[in-house]
Amino acid sequence: MATGLTVAVVGATGAAGQTTLRILEERKFPVRELRAFASERSVGKTVAFGGEAVAIRKIEAAAFKGVDLAFCSAGSAQSREYAPMIVKAGATVIDKSSAFRMDPAVPLVVPEINPHAVRTHQGILACPNCTTIVTVMPLKPLHDAGRLTRVIATSYQAVSGAGVKGIAELREQTLAWARGEAITPKHFPHQIAFNLIPHIDAFGPDGYTGEEMKLVHETRKILEAPGLPVTPTTVRVPVFTCHSVAVTAETERKITAGEARDLFARFPGLRLWDDPARNRYPMPLVVEGQDDCYVGRVREDLSSPRGVTFWVVGDQLRKGAATNAVQIAELLLR
């Protein structure tokens, strides 16, 4: 492995963890030594990195001695338990769970949008929710150009956003349907094959789900717009990879569809993919495996004189999780 840092990946066997390993290799991040961690049932198994088989270790304080940087791809409960322990051992933690996102002392970072936020970290930095990242990428240039006054966002979220169990459920249900067998949901509350489920995370007393409120609060924090009105709806769809979001954004200064296209085309990390006459618009099959978020179907809002409507798609395992985390690490190195 290359001369550089000792890097830990916690949750290395999960979908986000596996993608993190792949992104570290693709972007040639300076890893001197990789340490892989997962649940106790995975200890002794291996993951591939740099042409080597790396053994999975047990998560304990002593195992992080000498680690410079740790990527946490576990759940929020695990992150709350492990991240402070890892920081105490001397590492900087980039966490992908919801555990620390709204902590005022923890930067919530999308490198193309608020790179300055990394300067305030106290050992832990947070990645936003995958849907938030895909949504906020095109919102940033609009906000800079015209100041956002309202956002309406409806997301269509792939099953891999629910981890390896979500991927397996869609695959198994699709095969069962093809064989004419009965379908019994296990991971999702309803059948996901050939269906849409407008329910991701628990419902609150106001009728909004936890996933939807993440989009509200995280968007405000990243854009440093604490009073920005955001109305979200999140839907699970039978797609393996990539989250898609239909967005209507209103601004103080009118931004035409043409100006919005220009803003999107020039913004780093966005790719304008907008030629409806040639059936050219973002789709999960086009965007899967890409680090850029693709924006299309750009048009002026018929219901508001200062609104613009668009469709954005991003690979939530890459830019929505692993790529964003590695980009944060690159910022720290700089």
Paired strand residues for 333: none
Catalytic site residue from 72, 121, 127, 130: 130
- Structural tokens at position 48: 């591939």
- Cα–Cα distance measured from residue 9 to residue 20, given in angstroms and rounded to the nearest whole number: 8
Q: What does DSSP say about strands 243-251 and 31-37: parallel, antiparallel, or unpaired?
A: unpaired
Catalytic site residue from 127, 242, 243, 293: 243
- Cα–Cα distance measured from residue 140 to residue 151, given in angstroms and rounded to the nearest whole number: 12
- Cα–Cα distance measured from residue 308 to residue 256, given in angstroms and rounded to the nearest whole number: 7
The reply to whether 217 belongs to the active site is no
Strand order in the sheet with 307-314: 230-236, 148-157, 243-251, 307-314, 293-300, 270-272
- Cα–Cα distance measured from residue 286 to residue 313, given in angstroms and rounded to the nearest whole number: 9
Q: Where are the alpha helices (DSSP H) in the chain?
A: 15-26, 76-88, 130-146, 164-178, 210-223, 257-266, 284-287, 323-333
Q: What does DSSP say about strands 46-49 and 31-37: parallel, antiparallel, or unpaired?
A: unpaired
- Cα–Cα distance measured from residue 87 to residue 100, given in angstroms and rounded to the nearest whole number: 14
Residue 64, H or E segment:
none
Strand order in the sheet with 46-49: 46-49, 52-57, 31-37, 5-10, 69-72, 92-95, 124-126
Give the 3-state secondary structure of residue 126: strand
The reply to whether 72 belongs to the active site is no
Q: What does DSSP say about strands 270-272 and 31-37: parallel, antiparallel, or unpaired?
A: unpaired
Residues marked as catalytic: 130, 243
